[in-house]
Amino acid sequence: MRTTSIVVAGLASCALSSAEYDYKPDVTSEALQELITIEDLMAGSQDLQDIADANGGNRAFGGAGHNATVDYLVKTLEETGGYEVSTQAFVELFSAATVELSVGGTEYAGSYMTYGPSGTAGASLIKVANFGCNATDYPAEVSGNVAFISRGTCDFRVKATSAKAAGAMGTIIYNNVPGSLAGTLGAVGDYAPTIGIDQDDGQAILAQLGSGTVSADLLVDAISENRTTWNVVAETKEGDHDNVLTLGGHTDSVFAGPGINDDGSGTIGILTVAKALTNFKVKNAVRFLFWSAEEYGKLGSFHYLRTLNGTISGNQTEVSKIRAYLNFDMIASPNYVLGIYDGDGSAFNLSGPAGSAKIERDFEKFYESKEKPHVPALFSFRSDYAAFLENGVPAGGLFTGAEVLKTEEEARLFGGEAGVALDANYHQAGDTVDNLSEEAFLLNTQSIANSVAMYAMSWEGIPKVNATIAKRDAHLHRHHAARDLGHTHEHLSGPCGASTLLK
Ligand SMILES: *[C@@H]1O[C@H](CO)[C@@H](O)[C@H](O)[C@H]1NC(C)=O
Ligand SMILES: *[C@@H]1O[C@H](CO)[C@@H](O)[C@H](O)[C@H]1NC(C)=O
Ligand SMILES: *[C@@H]1O[C@H](CO)[C@@H](O)[C@H](O)[C@H]1NC(C)=O
Ligand SMILES: *[C@@H]1O[C@H](CO)[C@@H](O)[C@H](O)[C@H]1NC(C)=O
Ligand SMILES: *[C@@H]1O[C@H](CO)[C@@H](O)[C@H](O)[C@H]1NC(C)=O
Ligand SMILES: *[C@@H]1O[C@H](CO)[C@@H](O)[C@H](O)[C@H]1NC(C)=O
Ligand SMILES: *[C@@H]1O[C@H](CO)[C@@H](O)[C@H](O)[C@H]1NC(C)=O
Ligand SMILES: *[C@@H]1O[C@H](CO)[C@@H](O)[C@H](O)[C@H]1NC(C)=O
């Protein structure tokens, strides 16, 4: 693995004495932006790609590729000399599985149903009536064979339990809407090995069943164990530590691929800004947060806020020191839009805590100053900003889009291809260093630099968090007046990743 070498002209990257610090200029947007280059961003992305390549093609929580990502971040941040760097360890349940499926001699791509047992089955495939929610849906032939059940009406757990009760040796659940089907059985239970498949494959198999007996062979090889993982926290040594700017991205990928846009782009974007920032003086401290286990349900960010200052319930005194949180999860999507979280609620009728509107407006002004278009992005609660919104911290950030298809209107505004996903490689093996939009990556990282420079010098227009009303907006009503750019993390985890989709 090669290391990044971002050397800022004329300035050593080792620790500076306080005299040297005093000599540094105050940070400005222009000066910080000037230090952001596409060469550095791509070199950092290549480092993450190399880490994935050396560790089975992914950087998923609980695996060696994620360990190496954490080590890389700690080392790179420590080398700047400008930060107090720490890791926050926490333990989460890791579950993953290899699944294999062949029906009538044809191989199909199956997905693990989280909490399902390991095992194999080779027998006839028997179609279950309706949605398999009722014992009467299971014909007697299910006993000793493999049950074939449509998604719908009841939880996957009910289907898997009923199939086992009817004597099934294995269970296949097929999607009733487009897309693959990676769900969860919700808890450990009495199930046969269970696999999810997509709608097209489900229909193809149904057609075969219509014309005679079909055999199915399935294998589930699952592991479920508690594993330690780490958030990485780096706060400027200088600046007011009672009025802190926080910004973050997640360090884990899904199992299916290296995760270089999701979220290598956010990771490297903020890391590059962190390095550049050490050349300047700040008035307010800046804390860079690198989250683990986002793909498992935003576990790192929620753990961090719960345990802030060592208290399990979350210490409101400490939360109140955080003046704002900026989130960067996918900022270089190949068929991108320039999305800004809708802090003022003008697009989606779902605003962030007081101050979020200014954060959104400040981002908008940046793109307008560069004569670039922008669109609002929904606070869907599907990335790490959710933990901050739920604690009353004003939040914002950038998002260039995931699995959702680009509209004609967006293609007119941003170029790219209408009718194609904003990121065709979302949660797949193709999310590599070769499939980033360099244009979006550079512009958005300059945009991060602009916001960091602004809030590192002044909190004007952004009120301090009122800890007593902090948790009020926990589950805001959502009115999808405008369009969501995707990023259905909890519903589309990789073939081996844990899913929270229950039915
Ligand atoms: C990750 O690092 C921890 C601590 O060093 C170690 O215990 C664990 O085995 C590592 N995981 C892998 C998959 O290498
Ligand atoms: C199951 O089906 C039977 C027979 O159709 C019906 O009487 C019963 O109410 C159903 N149970 C549930 C839980 O739907
Ligand atoms: C994981 O840790 C939790 C909390 O300590 C415990 O309840 C659970 O049984 C553990 N799970 C496994 C699979 O070890
Ligand atoms: C909690 O915050 C106080 C004051 O900022 C600090 O002195 C102390 O070290 C912190 N404790 C932990 C466990 O972080
Ligand atoms: C919260 O942290 C502050 C220091 O920042 C400390 O004085 C206070 O005791 C902590 N509160 C709790 C409930 O731990
Ligand atoms: C906006 O949301 C609020 C609840 O949060 C609701 O009362 C109001 O009717 C919504 N307005 C629109 C235009 O949907
Ligand atoms: C790049 O993305 C395309 C889909 O847009 C995919 O087919 C291809 O495999 C990816 N290339 C690499 C090198 O990952
Ligand atoms: C925080 O909000 C509560 C409830 O609205 C209010 O009573 C209190 O005065 C506020 N505190 C500050 C410091 O603004």
Each residue's pLDDT tens digit, 293-307: 998 888 999 999 999
Q: Say how many Å lie between the CA of residue 486 and the centre of ligand 6.
A: 22
Is 373 found in the same domain as 402? yes
In this prediction, what percent of the chain has a pLDDT beyond 90? 75
Is 404 found in the same domain as 442? yes
What local confidence, expressed as pLDDT, does residue 502 receive?
84
What local confidence, expressed as pLDDT, does residue 500 receive?
64
How large is the greatest C-alpha to C-alpha distance in the chain, in angstroms?
A: 83
Taking the CA of 138 as reference, the closest ligand is 2
Task: List the residue whose alpha carbon is closest to atom 1 of ligand 2.
Answer: 134
Task: List the residue whose alpha carbon is closest to atom 5 of ligand 7.
Answer: 424
Checking if the pLDDT of 292 tops 90, the result is yes
User: Is any atom of ligand 1 closer than 6 Å to the C-beta of 65?
Assistant: no
Residue to mutate (ligand 6; options 342, 379, 476, 479; most atoms within 8 A of CB): 479
Mean pLDDT, rounded, for 249-258: 93
- Which of the pair, 194 or 98, is modelled with greater confidence? 194
What local confidence, expressed as pLDDT, does residue 296 receive?
80
Is 380 found in the same domain as 252? yes
Domain membership of residue 409 (yes or no) is yes
Domain membership of residue 232 (yes or no) is no
Is 343 found in the same domain as 429? yes
d(CA 308, CA 327): 18
Task: List the residue whose alpha carbon is closest to atom 2 of ligand 3.
Answer: 226
CATH of the domain at 482: 3.40.630.10
Transcribe 262-322 into DSSP letters. Answer: IIIIHHHHHHHHHHHHTTSB-SEEEEEEEES-STTTSHHHHHHHHTGGG-TT--HHHHHTE
Is 117 found in the same domain as 249? no
Instruction: From the CA of 469, give the closest atom in ligand 8.
Output: 2
What local confidence, expressed as pLDDT, does residue 475 receive?
39
What local confidence, expressed as pLDDT, does residue 96 receive?
78
Taking the CA of 310 as reference, the closest ligand is 4
Fill in the amino acid letter for 345.
G
Residue to mutate (ligand 7; options 46, 336, 432; most atoms within 8 A of CB): 432
Domain membership of residue 443 (yes or no) is yes
Taking the CA of 63 as reference, the closest ligand is 1
What local confidence, expressed as pLDDT, does residue 369 receive?
98
Q: Say how many Å lie between the CA of residue 91 and the centre of ligand 3.
A: 9
Checking if the pLDDT of 503 tops 70, the result is yes
Contacts of 342 (CB under 8 A, 6+ apart): 348, 350, 351, 360, 376, 377, 378, 379, 482
Helices 266-277, 38-53: axis angle to 10 degrees equals 130
* Chain centre to alpha carbon of residue 436: 16
Instruction: From the CA of 321, give the closest atom in ligand 4.
Output: 5
What local confidence, expressed as pLDDT, does residue 380 receive?
84
Last residue of a domain, one of 225, 258, 284: 225
CATH of the domain at 181: 3.50.30.30
Mean pLDDT, rounded, for 91-106: 89
Q: pLDDT (tens digit, 9 = 90+) per residue, 39-74?
A: 999 999 999 999 999 999 999 999 999 999 999 999
Number of structural domains (the chain) is 2
What local confidence, expressed as pLDDT, does residue 200 receive?
96
Helices 38-53, 64-80: axis angle to 10 degrees equals 140
User: Is any atom of ligand 8 closer than 6 Å to the C-beta of 463?
Assistant: no
Q: Out of 15-29, 84-98, 112-126, 208-222, which region has the weakest mean confidence (pLDDT)?
A: 15-29
Task: List the residue whose alpha carbon is closest to atom 10 of ligand 7.
Answer: 430
What local confidence, expressed as pLDDT, does residue 18 receive?
57
**Contacts made by residues 139-143, CB under 8 angstroms, sequence distance 24+:** 142/166, 142/167, 142/168, 143/167, 143/168
Q: Say how many Å lie between the CA of residue 470 and the centre of ligand 4.
A: 20
Residue to mutate (ligand 6; options 349, 389, 473; most atoms within 8 A of CB): 349
Catalytic residues: 294
Average per-residue pLDDT for the chain: 89
Last residue of a domain, one of 197, 225, 253: 225
Last residue of a domain, one of 203, 225, 247: 225
Is 362 found in the same domain as 319? yes
Checking if the pLDDT of 125 tops 70, the result is yes
Contacts of 447 (CB under 8 A, 6+ apart): 363, 366, 367, 398
Domain membership of residue 212 (yes or no) is yes
Q: Say how many Å lie between the CA of residue 349 and the centre of ligand 6.
A: 6
Question: Are the CB atoms for 170 and 147 separated by under 8 Å?
Answer: yes
Q: Say how many Å lie between the CA of residue 420 and the centre of ligand 7.
A: 13
Instruction: From the CA of 93, give the closest atom in ligand 3.
Output: 1
User: Is any atom of ligand 1 closer than 6 Å to the C-beta of 87?
Assistant: no
Is 208 found in the same domain as 311? no
pLDDT band at 19 (very low <50, low <70, confident <90, very high): low
What local confidence, expressed as pLDDT, does residue 20 receive?
61
What local confidence, expressed as pLDDT, does residue 493 receive?
34
What local confidence, expressed as pLDDT, does residue 359 receive?
98
Checking if the pLDDT of 281 tops 50, the result is yes
Task: List the residue whose alpha carbon is closest to atom 5 of ligand 8.
Answer: 469
Q: What residue ranges line ligand 3, CB within 6 angstroms? A: 93, 224-226
pLDDT band at 426 (very low <50, low <70, confident <90, very high): very high
Taking the CA of 470 as reference, the closest ligand is 8
Is 117 found in the same domain as 175? yes
Mean pLDDT, rounded, for 461-475: 66
Is 272 found in the same domain as 167? no
The pTM (predicted TM-score) of the whole model is 0.81
d(CA 96, CA 254): 11
Q: Say how many Å lie between the CA of residue 399 and the centre of ligand 6.
A: 24
Is 98 found in the same domain as 78? no
Domain that holds residue 133: 94-225
Domain membership of residue 412 (yes or no) is yes
Checking if the pLDDT of 498 tops 60, the result is no
pLDDT band at 34 (very low <50, low <70, confident <90, very high): very high
Reported in sequence order, the residue ranges of 119-207 that DSSP labels E, i.e. its strands, are 119-127, 146-150, 170-174, 194-197
Mean pLDDT, rounded, for 90-100: 87
What local confidence, expressed as pLDDT, does residue 484 receive?
63
Q: Say how many Å lie between the CA of residue 425 and the centre of ligand 7.
A: 7
Domain membership of residue 184 (yes or no) is yes
Is 287 found in the same domain as 217? no
Checking if the pLDDT of 10 tops 60, the result is no
Q: Out of 7-21, 96-110, 146-160, 442-456, which region has the weakest mean confidence (pLDDT)?
A: 7-21
pLDDT band at 188 (very low <50, low <70, confident <90, very high): confident
Is 465 found in the same domain as 372? yes
Burial (CB count <10 Å: 0-12, 13-18, 19+), residue 349? middle
